[in-house]
Amino acid sequence: MKFKRQGQLWVPSRHIYRPDRYQRYRRRFQKPTLGFTFVNSSAGFDSSAPYTGSLTGVTAGNLLVILVQGDNNITYTAMSGNGNTYVQATSAYSSNGSTRNVDIWYVLSANSGNTTITITPSATPIAIDVHIYEFSYTGGTLAFDLAATASGSGVLSTTASITTATANELLVSLVVNNGNNSSTVTQPSTWAADIGSDGTLGANSSYLADAGVAGSKSANWSWPSFANYNQSIVAFKIVAGATTKPWYYYRNQKALVGNT
Query: Can you give the residue ranges of every domain in the chain?
Result: 3-30+243-257, 35-240
More confident position, 187 or 123: 187
pLDDT score at 31 = 61
What is the spatial order of strands in the sheet that 101-107 belongs to? 35-46, 128-138, 63-70, 101-107, 87-92
Q: Are 239 and 167 in contact (CB under 8 A)?
A: no
CB–CB of 121/74 below 8 Å?
Answer: yes
User: CA-based angle 59:233:73, to the nearest 5?
Assistant: 105
pLDDT at 260: 40
Q: Is 108 left (phi over 0), alpha (psi -120 to 50) or beta?
A: alpha
Return d(Cα 51, Cα 36) in angstroms, integer.
29
Contacts of 242 (CB under 8 A, 6+ apart): none
Query: 49-78, pLDDT tens digit by residue?
Result: 889 999 999 999 999 999 998 876 677 889
Q: Please, which residues bridge with residue 214 across strands?
A: none
How many helices (H) and strands (E) in the chain? 2, 17
Q: What pTM does this model have?
A: 0.81
**Secondary structure class of 25 (helix, strand, coil):** helix
pLDDT score, position 71: 75
Q: What is the pLDDT of residues 191-228, one digit of tens each?
A: 998 998 865 567 899 999 999 999 999 999 999 998 88
Mean pLDDT over the full length of the chain: 82
d(CA 70, CA 68): 7
DSSP H or E run through 223: strand 216-240
